[in-house]
Structure 1
């Protein structure tokens, strides 16, 4: 099992609450890209629908995959509430079987970085290439922290408060370098604590 699956299955209920106040600012970018193509679009790591649902609202022929059934369940509930019809399925980007060819594949919000081994990265790129039409586009998002950021902040816990379904939680995030030779292998841990803090 891909290590991201268990994390996102457990984290799904808190995901939207954790990110709702953050200015990520990428939804319009991906919607505009998708509207430029004349054919289907695949979002890899569509999660709870932060971008995917806006693709549907914009009339894009959008499909999605995500490794977490729990995240997809939230996406489908939100789509139902918005009277949208999603075409999503649970799948791992390293070994999914494309059901069609896509004009555009997007992998937003550092999702590709959950492939922490070179073997998984290559496997995902092979699958994504297989899913594209011959002149299709693959758009990936990466986060490459500066050396100063790594030295100053990695290993130090960062906490924030999150309200989910009327309960308050403290979310602690710790970034650690797992492999100094392969800097893209960074571990993120998030824990929640119910109650007063």
Structure 2
């Protein structure tokens, strides 16, 4: 796995479904509407353990998945088998995408695109997506701009219970390189069993952010057209004070 992605193995993949379990999420209907508007096979880049992919397959949508974490893909396959599903999954990085078919929709949920921190590789990822789209197909990429400040104190972000009954406490600190447009986040996972701290593990993730017109230019230079920018998952128009953006563009 490229270091650009951080480490989505070990305790990160093991605990992912503690935070993201269930059949419906804040962005579920958003991508369904997009796939309904442009019918055809879709590709989810950064499918992880199947948060979106498996419910879509269960509803009859034709969606394939790509991820660069072997462990997350293995969990996804295990969950799919339990549901009687047979997903098409690929173990690849988005900037090295090389699949045997083209798609009508390619979407990269959450902050997955921002995990490609090298600018040249990010441009290459867009080129690979463009090459894997059918004519008239669409790409959908959410991005956000983090606060221009570092968090020096550990802040608890999530708590949950693992299948063995252990409580997992996820805390984080972060630093921001403003002019480089890179946020580095250090996560601490504390495993508590029987009220005793049994284990502590750490994971580092780097994210590169982009500004509105900067990313529009990247899409245009790649060849994308009809670029739309939404300010949320209900398709509302983006306002000047928003730091969350969803880019949608056509081939």
TM-score where L is the length of structure 1: 0.88
For 2:169, the equivalent position in structure 1 comes to 170
C-alpha displacement of 1:132: 0.7
C-alpha displacement of 1:6: 5.6
The 5-angstrom pairing of residues 8-157 of structure 1 reads 8-10=8-10, 11-20=12-21, 25-145=26-146, 149-151=147-149, 154-157=151-154
- What CA deviation, in whole Å up to 9, does each residue of 1:98-130 have, x standing for no partner? 210111100011110001121121111111111
C-alpha displacement of 1:62: 0.8
CA RMSD of aligned residues (A): 2.0
C-alpha displacement of 1:143: 1.5
- What CA deviation, in whole Å up to 9, does each residue of 1:111-169 have, x standing for no partner? 10001121121111111111111221000011123xxx433x63332213221121112
4+ residue runs over 4 A deviation:
none
C-alpha displacement of 1:170: 1.8
**2-structure distance, mates of 1:157, 1:167:** 21
C-alpha displacement of 1:43: 0.3
**1-structure distance, mates of 2:58, 2:37:** 15
Q: Using a 3 Å threshold, how does the CA distance of structure 1 residues 24 and 4 change in structure 2: closer, same or farther?
A: farther
For 2:3, the equivalent position in structure 1 comes to 3
Conserved? CA contact 2:66–2:91, under 8 Å: yes
Conserved? CA contact 2:5–2:115, under 8 Å: no
Q: Using a 3 Å threshold, how does the CA distance of structure 1 residues 52 and 135 change in structure 2: closer, same or farther?
A: same
Conserved? CA contact 1:34–1:55, under 8 Å: no
Q: Of Structure 1 and Structure 2, which has the larger fraction of its residues in strand? A: 2
DSSP 3-state at the match of 1:192: strand
Number of aligned residues: 190
- What CA deviation, in whole Å up to 9, does each residue of 1:75-114 have, x standing for no partner? 1111111111101111100112021011110001111000
Conserved? CA contact 1:155–1:174, under 8 Å: yes
C-alpha displacement of 1:5: 5.2
Conserved? CA contact 1:27–1:51, under 8 Å: yes
For 2:179, the equivalent position in structure 1 comes to 181
TM-score where L is the length of structure 2: 0.70
**1-structure distance, mates of 2:143, 2:34:** 17
DSSP 3-state at the match of 1:138: strand
**1-structure distance, mates of 2:25, 2:53:** 15
- Give unmatched runs, 5+ long, in structure 2: 198-251
**1-structure distance, mates of 2:81, 2:140:** 28
Q: Of Structure 1 and Structure 2, which has the larger fraction of its residues in helix? A: 1
